[in-house]
Structure 1
């Protein structure tokens, strides 16, 4: 099938779904959602079908009175003219999500070990690590709240509309940037791969350049600025963990977030340094089987997780 024919087939399917979905008796929501999730082009075609005035006018004449959904949601059961309001405003499609700009502020969360990417309308992108939650208001998508966990932000710079990340009461202002933020309660870590981030804009602001890191142990603690290899910052988002003289304690924390299972270090080994790249492909057991020889440790099962212990002396 040619690309043009394939495109026409998608357009026709989108029109059919749009017509059928407005019927109050329509019950194929699971199949409809599965079709939308199969290919990002399906969502765009569906929204284009809804916006097509040539046939939409005819649908309006035939459209029944909207049937209200259950009390749990205020959205009408038929979605004509409302955009693709999938899953209460968030369509999760193969690990990425699209915001419904007509919905109220949405919380997007990942389960332990799950990764997800959110594409914003301005071209910016947010990658969520495991056990992470962000809140985004579609009306102000360049103002994101990191409620918990770890997120990598690739921001399209717009001087007239600054991109702001709130982590508790801490404000991070983008200056055209790729940066990583970890929030664990009131503890905060920020690392900049590209561009710049301004920590707490104001009289006591800290400007972070590529390779700069900032760590704060708690809300009242003073921020500590350090350095890292920019290429290693947020590497988890591309399916690997890259280290340049990092501690095994840091590796354990990263594995915990990425695998969704607790990984700890045995006494006396947490501060030992490591450099190199660890791939995250496969099950937790497969990842750790590769990590053991690389880190010079063995992973001992401990309840739901593992403990790192030296395999043959100090890790290399």
Structure 2
């Protein structure tokens, strides 16, 4: 392994180990580093897999989470250049100071991975990589009422709506994301060799170089394409390419769609619920992501009724009252939540 490969692994280990504690400026710095070379993104993605693999963490001598023990690493730790300077003497902003216990974990991780990738036939990464059993996915979630920005291992951007979660499965051949609940917007970094796919129950969206959002709803999935194109493949439907400034909704039976203005209607990304012939049930789900108290319909049969308008997501109670008034309904608080019922 040459010096540049080793430095890439060490830097990736540094970023991966600190990932959950990065501020916005550091996340931008990480995204820039990931975009510089393809091997940067590959090393970062593999080390993130390592961090989710207890067997390898034990092999490189990392202490279990919450432990104060510091067992000796299986492989000798590399000597890190002082104060963030590379071995060539050029100052690098990528290596950051850390506590002795955390640095020991990081050095063990980098040293172990460096030794493993140097083994004949690629060692561990070949036997446990994409050709073997799938690694544990990376998972990201947001809290009720709070959105979350994430930089994905390939440098793509992810914005989670409130009360949303995804499972990220990245391999050398594919990039696949399961939208487990809620909604998310994706700014996809182009990689012709690795398709970028987002899945919900009954539908799969494959990016063709684009910016788009996907909303998982009860029995439905909504796609909005802000730029580029996305192919939507839904159960029982022929694949459909949705271009920029268009939306498509699959409700389990058919695909409906239309156009929208991304500048005027960014929807949940700017705190608004933009309803255009929207089903009441879908609106209740979306408002519920911003309410600390569950929101429900008093009569489930009302869920298919539609309405149009623009309502604040960050004021869910007020918006619920305004929407309810369109149907002669009003919010009523009960022990288990707020119900929209007949006035």
TM norm. shorter chain > 0.5: yes
2:249 alignment counterpart: 214
Q: Is the deviation greater in 235-244 or in 154-163?
A: 154-163
Whichever structure has more helix as a proportion of its residues is 2
Give the direction of change, closer, same or farther, for the CA distance of 1:67–1:116 in structure 2 (3 Å limit): same
Q: Is the deviation greater in 135-144 or in 188-197?
A: 135-144
Structure-1 separation of matches of 2:140 and 2:151: 12
Give the direction of change, closer, same or farther, for the CA distance of 1:42–1:131 in structure 2 (3 Å limit): closer
Q: Deviations over 1:50-101 (max 9, x none)?
A: xxxxxxxxxxxxxxxx85302899x975213757xxxxxxxxxxxxxxxxxx
Structure-1 separation of matches of 2:267 and 2:108: 40
Q: Give 1:111 deviation, angstroms.
A: 4.0
Alignment of 1:50-61 (within 5 A): none
1:225 aligns with 2:252: no
Local SS of the residue matching 2:275: strand
1:118 aligns with 2:150: yes
Q: Give 1:275 deviation, angstroms.
A: 3.0
- Picking from 195, 199, 206, the partner of 1:173 is 206
2:309 alignment counterpart: 276
1:154 alignment counterpart: 187
Structure-2 separation of matches of 1:273 and 1:82: 54
1:55 alignment counterpart: none
Structure-1 separation of matches of 2:239 and 2:28: 42
Contact 1:269 1:309 in 2 (8 A): no
1:244 alignment counterpart: 276
Structure-2 separation of matches of 1:245 and 1:230: 16
Structure-1 separation of matches of 2:272 and 2:231: 27
1:163 alignment counterpart: 196
Q: TM-score, normalised by structure 1?
A: 0.57
Local SS of the residue matching 1:78: helix
1:79 aligns with 2:106: yes
1:143 aligns with 2:176: yes
Q: Is the deviation greater in 266-275 or in 127-136?
A: 266-275
Give the direction of change, closer, same or farther, for the CA distance of 1:234–1:80 in structure 2 (3 Å limit): farther
CA RMSD of aligned residues (A): 4.4
Give the direction of change, closer, same or farther, for the CA distance of 1:260–1:117 in structure 2 (3 Å limit): farther
1:68 alignment counterpart: 62
Give the direction of change, closer, same or farther, for the CA distance of 1:215–1:263 in structure 2 (3 Å limit): same
1:288 alignment counterpart: 317
Alignment of 1:293-304 (within 5 A): 293=322, 296=325, 298-304=330-336
1:190 alignment counterpart: 222
Give the direction of change, closer, same or farther, for the CA distance of 1:162–1:201 in structure 2 (3 Å limit): farther
Contact 1:117 1:126 in 2 (8 A): yes
2:26 alignment counterpart: 41
Contact 1:193 1:233 in 2 (8 A): no
Give the direction of change, closer, same or farther, for the CA distance of 1:201–1:258 in structure 2 (3 Å limit): same
Alignment of 1:3-42 (within 5 A): 36-38=21-23, 40-41=25-26
Contact 1:280 1:287 in 2 (8 A): yes
Structure-1 separation of matches of 2:234 and 2:191: 17
Local SS of the residue matching 1:288: helix
- Picking from 275, 280, 290, the partner of 1:258 is 290
Return 5+ residue gaps in structure 1 as ranges. Answer: 1-21, 23-31, 49-65, 84-102, 312-316
